[in-house]
Structure 1
Amino acid sequence: MNNYHQHAGTFKIGGEIEINRLGYGGMQLTGQGVWGDAPDRENAKKVLRAAVDAGVNFIDTADSYGPHTNETLIADALFPYPDNLLIATKGGFDRTGPNQWRVNGNPEHIRQAIDGSLQRLKKDVIDLWQLHRIDSRFPVEETLGPVVDAVKAGKIRFVGLSEVDVEQVKRAEKTVPIVSVQNLYNLGNRQWEDVLDYTVQRGMAFIPWYPLASGPEKLKNKIADIAEKHEATTAQIALAWLVKRAPNILLIPGTGSVKHLEENLQGGTIQLSDEDFKALS
C-alpha cells in the first residue's frame, strides 16, 4: 500500500521531521457536529490503523474534536505509536455543544489544553502543537506564553498556527518559531493565497483544512473532464491539484471509511499535467 506516497513525496516539518505529504485528519471520527465520540468506535480505530498501514505518518487532531474524544481514540487505536508517526494537535477552542466553537486564548486555558493533550495522546512530547485560533481578547504573545514554556520544558517540539493572516504569523514568530500554518484552502477557496506564498518562502508547512472541496460551479465541467481523463473522482483531482500547487502543502483529508481513505490516498498519486493544473487554476 505504501506506493501511494511516492509521487506526492515528503516534507520536513521544522526542517527536521520528515513525513509523507499525504496525511490524515481525524476530525470526522467524532459524532455529529464534531461532538462526542465516533458513533462506531471500532470502525474508527480500523480507519486509523488502515491509514498508518498505508504509510500515513502524519495525523492531525485537536483537543476540541469531541471535545477530547478524538485524541483518546487515536491513542486507543495506535498506541504504542510507530517511531515515525507524527501526531499534530491543536488547542484554543472551548466547546459548548454540537457545531459550537468558542475561541479561548486565555493562557491558563492554553496551559491546561497542552497538558490535557499530552495525557490523552499518551505522549511525553507533542511533535507539532498548533494554536487553533487567535483570540482577539488576548495579545497573541500572552496566549503563546504557555506554549513557549512547554517548548522549553520539552513538552512541545514544534509550533504551528491555524486560520491566520501573514501579519499574524509574523507577529507570532517574534514569540516562538512557527513551522506550519493550517488555513482553509482548496481548489474552490483560495482566499489565503498570500499566506501560502509566505509559508513557501519561509520553508513552513502549509496544511489546508477542508482540502477535498472542489470548488465553484464554474469549475465543475473542467474538473469533470480532467477527472474523466485520469479515471478519477473530482475529490481526487482536488487533492492532486493541491499536491502540485506547492511542495510544502500537506494533505489531511479526513474520512470515516477505509474505502474512502484509499480513494483519498490515490488522489495524491495522480499527476496532473501543467495544462490540467492551469485549467483548474
Structure 2
Amino acid sequence: MTTTNTLPAAAAGTWKLGSFEVNRLGYGAMRLMSTTDGGIRDRETSIAVLRRAVELGVNHIDTAAFYFFGPRSANELINRALAPYGDDLVITTKVGPGRDFEGAFHTARPDQLRAQVEENLRQLGLDHLDVVNYRIGQALDRGTGSLAEGFGALAELREAGMIRELGISNIGPEHLTEALAIAPVVCVQNQYGLTARREDDELVRLCAEHGIAFVPFFAVASGSAEETRVAEVARRHDATPAQVRLAWTLHQGPHVLAIPGTGDLAHLEQNVAAATLELTEGDLKTLDGAA
C-alpha cells in the first residue's frame, strides 16, 4: 500500500489494521514518561512530543494503561495532548499485564480483562478502543499455553462495541492460529529487530500470508559487535544507527510497522525521518551479516 501524504511519517507507505489505515511509521508511548537517567520527564515536554509526532504525520500511537512512571501516565498524557482526537488517529493499547500503584506487575485473569479495557477507555477519554492487543507471558518471556479464554473474552467485548479491532502480543505461531479461529486478528506485536528475536522471521512471513500487520517493539535495541556493520550503513546514508535499524525493520515487508518510542523531540524527528531512508540491496546484505 502507498500514500500520497507528503508528511515524513507517511514516506514508508500505509497499512490497514482492519478498518483503520495507518502510516507504517508510528509512535510507541512507553518511553514518554521518564528520562534516560531514570528521572521523571517534564510533562509539557511529553505533551509537545506527542503533538509534534502528529504534526509529522504519525497517526498510529501504541500505549497501555500500565505505562506509567511516578506521576506520569502515558494514557493521560495522550488524552491531554491530543484530545479531541483527529479522525485519522489510531490508538492501539494492550491488556493482559497490569501494575499496582507501587509498579509491581501482575497478569489479569480473563474475567479481569473487561476492567482493563474500561481503565484504558477512562484514561484516554474514549467510548471505544480502536485496537486492543492481548499480551501474554511475563516481561519479555514468550507466552506459552492457550490464549483462547482471554482472547475469547476480548472478542466478546469487540462484539459489544467496546473494541473495534483485536491483536495479540508476545506470541508464537501457534497462538496466531488459535486466535484466528476465534476472531479476526489485525496485528501481532512481538519483540523483534535486526539483532533481536530473529527466530520470529517465520512469524513475520506468516503474518504477511494472512494480511496481518507485524508490529515489533524494541526494534532499536542496541548491540555490540554488530554495531560496526550498522554504523557502516549509517555512514553511507548520513543517518544514525537507530534510523538504520528502523529502516531495516520497515524493509521486512509492507505489512511490518514501526513504533519507536522517545520522550525527546530531537530523537522523535530522527525516528520519523527513518521512514524516508531507502536501504539498497548492498545495505541489506551488509546488515544481514550483523544479524
Q: Deviations over 1:171-197 (max 9, x none)?
A: 122122111000001111113112111
Q: State the partner residue of 1:72.
A: 76
Shift of 1:144: 2.1
RMSD: 2.4
SS in 1 for 2:167: strand
**Structure 1: distance between partners of 2:147 and 2:43:** 36
Amino acid at match of 2:24: R
Amino acid at match of 1:48: L
Q: Is the 8 A contact 1:186 1:215 kept in 2?
A: no
Q: Deviations over 1:48-79 (max 9, x none)?
A: 00000111000000121117921121111100
Shift of 1:148: 1.6
TM-score (norm: length of structure 1)? 0.91
2:122 equivalent to 1:122: no
Q: State the partner residue of 1:211.
A: 219
Tell me the number of residue pairs that the alignment of Structure 1 and Structure 2 aligns.
276
Shift of 1:38: 5.2
TM-score (norm: length of structure 2)? 0.88
Shift of 1:39: 3.0
Q: Is the 8 A contact 1:181 1:204 kept in 2?
A: yes
SS in 1 for 2:276: coil
Q: State the partner residue of 1:58.
A: 60
2:196 equivalent to 1:185: no
Structure 1 runs of 4+ aligned residues shifted over 6 Å read 135-138
Structure 1's unaligned 5+ residue stretches are none
Amino acid at match of 2:227: K
**Structure 2: distance between partners of 1:99 and 1:76:** 22
Q: Please, which moves more after superposition, 140-149 or 114-123?
A: 140-149
Amino acid at match of 2:123: R
Q: Sort the Cα spacing of 1:251 and 1:99 in 2 relative to 1 into closer, same or farther, 3 A.
A: farther
Q: Is the 8 A contact 2:10 2:24 kept in 1?
A: no
**Structure 1: distance between partners of 2:9 and 2:99:** 35
Q: State the partner residue of 1:258.
A: 265
Q: Sort the Cα spacing of 1:231 and 1:196 in 2 relative to 1 into closer, same or farther, 3 A.
A: same
Shift of 1:17: 1.4
Q: State the partner residue of 1:84.
A: 88
**Structure 1: distance between partners of 2:232 and 2:41:** 37
Shift of 1:19: 0.7
Shift of 1:140: 2.0
Q: Please, which moves more after superposition, 89-98 or 151-160?
A: 89-98
Structure 2's unaligned 5+ residue stretches are none
Q: Is the 8 A contact 1:181 1:207 kept in 2?
A: yes
2:119 equivalent to 1:112: no
Q: State the partner residue of 2:45.
A: 43
Percent sequence identity is 36
**Structure 1: distance between partners of 2:144 and 2:284:** 41
Q: State the partner residue of 1:233.
A: 240
Amino acid at match of 2:23: N
Q: State the partner residue of 2:158.
A: 151
**Structure 1: distance between partners of 2:266 and 2:171:** 33
